[in-house]
Structure 1
Amino acid sequence: MLWEPEHGGAEAAGRKDDLWVYWNAPTREDDTAAQIALVERVTHGNYQGLVLAPDQALALMTPVRRAVERGVCTVIVGSPLSIPASDRLSYILNDDEEGGRMAARRVALLLHGKGSVGVIGINPNISGIMIRARSFESYLAENYPDIHIVEKRMGSFNVPHEQQVAEEMLRSNENLDVIVALMWPSVRGAISTIENEPGKLSTKVIGFDPDALPFEANSLDSVIVQNTREMGYQAVDMIAARLHGTPMPPLVKLGPVLVTRENVNSKEVGNLTSMDWSKSP
Structure 2
Amino acid sequence: MTEHQNYKPRIADIALQAGVGTATVDRVLNNRPGVKEKTVQKVMAAARFLEQSGGRPRVIAPTAAGLNLRAFLGGAPGFANEILGRALRESARMHGVPLALDFVKRTDPMALAAQLRGCLEDGTSGVIVQAVEHPFVRDAIAELITRGLHVTSVLTQMPGLDGLGYIGLDNRAAGRLAGQILGLLCGGKGEIAVFHSDAIYRSHEEREAGLRSVLREDFPDIRIVETISTDDNPNECFRRAQQVLSKHPDLTGLVNLAAGNRGIERALLDSGRATELTFVAFNLTPLSRKALVERTMDAVIHQDMTRIAEEAVTAQIAAHQGKVLPGKMIPTELILRENLKDASNF
Give yes or no for TM over 0.5.
yes
Q: 2:97 aligned with 1:19, yes or no?
A: yes
**Which one of the candidate residues 101, 116, 141 is aligned to 2:191?**
116
- Asked if the contact 1:7/1:229 (under 8 Å) is kept, the reply is no
Counterpart position of 1:240: 317
**Which one of the candidate residues 213, 216, 219 is aligned to 1:138?**
213
Partners of 1:170 and 1:239 lie apart in 2 by 46
Q: 2:100 aligns to what SS in structure 1? A: coil
Partners of 1:209 and 1:146 lie apart in 2 by 27
Give the superposition deviation at 1:131: 0.4
Q: Which runs of 5+ in 2 are unaligned?
A: 1-78
- Asked if the contact 2:92/2:313 (under 8 Å) is kept, the reply is yes
Counterpart position of 2:269: 195
Q: 2:338 aligns to what SS in structure 1? A: coil
Give the superposition deviation at 1:56: 4.5
Mapping of residues 1-281 of structure 1, within 5 Å: 1-15=79-93, 17-26=95-104, 28-86=105-163, 89-185=164-260, 187-199=261-273, 201-211=275-285, 212-213=287-288, 214-215=290-291, 217-249=294-326, 251-266=327-342, 269=343, 271-273=344-346
- 1:201-229 deviation line (CA, Å, top 9, x unaligned): 41221111354323255421122122222
* Residue identity matched to 1:44: E
Q: 1:18 aligns to what SS in structure 2? A: coil
- Asked if the contact 2:265/2:274 (under 8 Å) is kept, the reply is no
Q: Which runs of 5+ in 1 are unaligned?
A: 274-281
Give the superposition deviation at 1:199: 4.9
Report the CA distance shift for 1:59/1:82 in structure 2 as closer, same or farther (over 3 A): farther
Give the superposition deviation at 1:14: 3.0
- Structure with greater contact order relative to length (CA < 8 Å, sep ≥ 6): 1
Report the CA distance shift for 1:218/1:12 in structure 2 as closer, same or farther (over 3 A): closer
Partners of 1:232 and 1:198 lie apart in 2 by 39
- The share of aligned pairs that are identical, in percent, is 20
- Asked if the contact 1:29/1:157 (under 8 Å) is kept, the reply is no
- 1:11-58 deviation line (CA, Å, top 9, x unaligned): 4543454322222223x5445454334323323211110011124444
- Asked if the contact 1:30/1:157 (under 8 Å) is kept, the reply is no
Please give the TM-score of this superposition, normalised by the length of structure 2: 0.69
Give the superposition deviation at 1:78: 0.8
Partners of 2:134 and 2:335 lie apart in 1 by 27
- Asked if the contact 1:94/1:227 (under 8 Å) is kept, the reply is no
Q: 1:46 aligns to what SS in structure 2? A: coil
Partners of 1:35 and 1:140 lie apart in 2 by 35
Larger Rg: 2
